[in-house]
Structure 1
Amino acid sequence: MAKVIIWHDGGCPLCRREIALMRRLDHRGRIDFIDVTEAGSVCPIDRQTLLTRLHASEDGVLLSGAAAFAAMWRAIPLLRPIGLLARSSAMLAILEFMYLWFLKLRPRLQRLVGGGAGR
């Protein structure tokens, strides 16, 4: 299985918690996590775009939103079944709808979780 690269917002308290959990679950080291807020981090596209949504690279294909989460889940044995379900276009559409809903709530949730200003 090829490595998955995840670009995440290390300035977001929600993202930090999510990524910390994914790191703990990634026992096989199949995911490279890149905090795009760190100086010198390599970004495949505009940094601001990377900060607005989760992005991933799986088998050289750049993914964002629910598709990026699904790629991350496929790399983690415990979550792999959910990631495989997301290969279905109908399931991915449902997950993307939920992700877009989450993004609308994200600034408020950031303030609740860690006092973040919200992006």
Structure 2
Amino acid sequence: MVSEEESTPQAETSCRVFYDGACPLCRREIAFYRRREGETRIDWVDVSAADYRGGNGAPDPETARKRFHVVSARGELVAGGAAFAELWSMLPGFRAAGRLFRIPPFSWAVALAYRLFLPLRPALQKLAAKGE
């Protein structure tokens, strides 16, 4: 017999996405995801909000502003490329990519791509700010 928890489809589970709402690049990207099917199952948390404190499984404010974080439907805090794979797995249009990028060597590739992106982020933020 299957328990109620085991029979719950993935589409009904949710995750928490922590993003820097003060970052113009981050705002644009999150706005893109929030226009996708399935976004209502995600708790979007702006870590730049004055009342954001972290804790209770969430990253502290300073850590959260430095890297992209997600608390998965399983309650696991993941960051960087793994966080994108978690987010993508929650959105029907990206689900296949999310599943693929959880498996090595693809998980390594997305983690490496994210690490390579981080030094470029400040310059990209400035470009995004000019476009607003």
If the length of structure 2 is used for normalisation, what is the TM-score?
0.82
Report the Cα offset of residue 95 of structure 1. 0.5
Per-residue displacement from partner, 1:43-99 (whole Å, max 9, x unpaired)?
223210010000001110000001111110000000000000012121011011111
Partner of 1:51: 65
**Structure 1 gaps, min length 5:** none
Which structure has the greater CA radius of gyration?
2
Task: Please tell me the root mean square deviation across aligned C-alpha atoms, in Å.
Answer: 1.2
Preserved CA contact (<8 Å) 1:26 1:75: no
Partner in structure 1 of residue 127 of structure 2? 112
Is structure 2 residue 28 aligned with structure 1 residue 17? Answer: yes
Residues 74 and 81 in structure 1, CA contact (< 8 A), matched pair in contact too:
yes
1:76 maps to which residue? 91
Cα distance change, pair 26–34 in 1 and its aligned pair in 2 (3 A): farther
Q: Is the 8 A contact 2:53 2:60 kept in 1?
A: no
- How far, CA to CA, are the matches of 1:4 and 1:85 in structure 2? 18
Structure with more contact order per residue of length (Cα contacts < 8 Å, sep ≥ 6): 1
In the TM superposition, residue 28 of structure 1 has moved relative to its aligned partner by 5.3
Measured in 1, the distance between the counterparts of 2:38 and 2:68 equals 21
Give the Å deviation of 1:21: 0.6
CA distance in 1, matches of 2:44, 2:66: 16
For the Cα contact (< 8 Å) 2:53–2:61, is it kept in 1? no
Normalised by the size of structure 1, how large is the TM-score? 0.91
Of residues 14-23 and 43-52 in structure 1, the stretch that sits farther from structure 2 once superposed is: 43-52
2 CA distance for matches of 1:86 and 1:18?
A: 19
